[in-house]
Structure 1
């Protein structure tokens, strides 16, 4: 099976995942996700930025366009295999494709992606990852990180993050499949506009305009942060892209679900902080900044990468894990295993997996 995505129908009952033993990714054949759509994913990655204070340094903003795009990385961490086998840092600008309502040159820079030491009195991590955007006199300096692979097909992406700073910026987490034709773009995104009320976030399956250029109301929802939270608070933002719909959560509370034009084809993953002075972003005051800050980022995913399919035995799943309800963020729990581990033995049938699934869903 090229893409493993088993959707379960009907009501079922199970044990709490917190009762299951912690395990390692190397022992997991696939991952069961609880959510609006229950699905299996073949891969899991976790990026933890909370203890990199020894690599932390806030670089000064670069004020020249050429120096901005050509800037070096800000930390040896961004040369580590942990980073480079999954992410790349963008340095493109919008000089050749400025949107119709844009008023500013926007330049992505590695200088705006950095590890920052915690100086907050009321939060516990020693550091976090910051993506910065700042308005300069002649242009907007911005930040973007993008997955190396553009062959993700269905994901659950989560980040413990906050957005802070001046009005006139966007911070975002999204899946993206590029097309020169706007109406052929496939994208599921979470966007935060710093010009909005602090409890409003935007959830969209792009394109958000119809063929007449009018807003397509079925494509987007303005969601409200739950329980009095604001987007400047640390919260776990989650986006599940599954075959039938995209679903958004904040701290495990569903805030939006959209079935209209759910992406169907392989995509990549992007996080950014930006502005172009247009109607959507707003126009930031010169000298002001905004930031997307992450304590950690986690992804469950399926991929069409050929080497991945070979490594995993063409979709064979010997042991079922979960990260939902795990007592330790970033580490899976083992729901069921035949003892073979990933890539070992032969999968003998769906009955044991379905039994484990039933138990899990009873939580």
Structure 2
């Protein structure tokens, strides 16, 4: 496995950050969750090692390349851990960095030649191979997180992009391959009363994409987590909003793809596969140690910086 496969990703991110940092000290978001953030990070996977080749590559040369975790030490960590089944009816899950790849785009496009892919499959031994990327900053207090992504593959997988403190303090964007392909789920945990197992009103939403779009299409998903409120957007349109169980504790940011054979994810057949594909991720956030972002400085709009809904090419 070549560790330099992922270096262009880190270099592209560093270039954009240096360019933006020279001009902006704070970033402001718009819409109903308007806020200011001290930090901005943009991770671009669109042209990682074929930057000079904009056309599609042939299937024969489009083999996946394993994504090394080393250059992500100051950004994202590919998870490596074992999660045992929590009931006799569910599966063990093995998170492995080998489940995160750089892939060539095999469809004609002038916009991107590569993307990141998270992968899950059910192994013959009954274990589910899964994948996750955890952002290195674990003390995020509020954030606007955005991703250009798609989900594809067999029924029984869950793709997530979310803030996480613990299982009862998180705000989620989730796409399930067993759901209709037009559906996205949004939630603040917990979504059920732990005593009665009854649904908690206003904590979770199942939303249909507009204009006959599918979760297997490339869509921009966005979560704004502000004081007392979580708001979700897709392709620049607000999809859901909640003031129920909004996280109030410093959290990390994660994207993952998993299945455990349980009632929520559904069960994948042995050898079945699914993928969570990502072109770019944009993060606007504050942390516990950062000053009040309402102070002075040069404020730039988050809606016109690289990595929002229509990121510019790297010119």
Would you say 1:322 and 2:309 are equivalent positions? no
**1:317: Cα distance to partner?**
2.9
Q: 2:82 aligns with which of 84, 88, 93?
A: 93
* Whole-angstrom distance in 2 between the partners of 1:33 and 1:303: 17
* Whole-angstrom distance in 1 between the partners of 2:88 and 2:304: 44
Q: 2:116 aligns with which of 126, 129, 137?
A: 129
- The aligned residue for residue 150 of structure 2 is 162
User: CA contact under 8 A between 1:102 and 1:279: conserved in structure 2?
Assistant: no
Q: 1:174 aligns with which of 162, 170, 174?
A: 162
Cα distance change of structure 1 residues 250 and 123 upon mapping to structure 2, 3 Å threshold: farther
**1:241: Cα distance to partner?**
0.4
Matches for 1:1-363 after TM superposition, within 5 Å: 24-53=20-49, 58=64, 74-76=66-68, 78-80=69-71, 83-95=72-84, 98-100=85-87, 102-121=89-108, 124-138=111-125, 139-178=127-166, 185-211=168-194, 212-305=196-289, 309=290, 316-326=295-305, 329=307
Q: Write the deviation string for residues 45-100 of structure 1: whole angstroms up to 9, x where unpaired.
A: 000000113598525xxxxxxxxxxxxxx345x422xx3212111111212xx334
* Whole-angstrom distance in 2 between the partners of 1:245 and 1:102: 35
Cα distance change of structure 1 residues 314 and 254 upon mapping to structure 2, 3 Å threshold: closer
Q: Secondary structure, in 3 states, of the residue corresponding to 2:90?
A: coil
Gaps of 5+ in 2: 1-18, 52-61
Q: Write the deviation string for residues 258-278 of structure 1: whole angstroms up to 9, x where unpaired.
A: 111111110000100000000
Which has more radius of gyration? 1
Gaps of 5+ in 1: 1-22, 60-73, 334-363
Q: Secondary structure, in 3 states, of the residue corresponding to 2:186?
A: strand
* Whole-angstrom distance in 1 between the partners of 2:274 and 2:310: 33
Which of the two has greater strand per residue?
2
Cα distance change of structure 1 residues 200 and 27 upon mapping to structure 2, 3 Å threshold: same
* Whole-angstrom distance in 1 between the partners of 2:170 and 2:141: 12
Q: Secondary structure, in 3 states, of the residue corresponding to 1:36?
A: helix
Cα distance change of structure 1 residues 266 and 313 upon mapping to structure 2, 3 Å threshold: closer
Q: TM-score, normalised by structure 1?
A: 0.72
Q: Write the deviation string for residues 189-246 of structure 1: whole angstroms up to 9, x where unpaired.
A: 0111100001111100001110322222321011111222110000100010010211
User: CA contact under 8 A between 2:230 and 2:243: conserved in structure 1?
Assistant: yes
Let me know the Cα RMSD of the aligned residues.
Answer: 2.4
User: CA contact under 8 A between 2:145 and 2:284: conserved in structure 1?
Assistant: yes
* Whole-angstrom distance in 1 between the partners of 2:174 and 2:86: 17
- The aligned residue for residue 9 of structure 1 is none
* Whole-angstrom distance in 1 between the partners of 2:22 and 2:45: 22
Cα distance change of structure 1 residues 280 and 314 upon mapping to structure 2, 3 Å threshold: closer
User: CA contact under 8 A between 1:323 and 1:332: conserved in structure 2?
Assistant: no
Q: Write the deviation string for residues 164-194 of structure 1: whole angstroms up to 9, x where unpaired.
A: 111010000000002xxx5xx2100011110
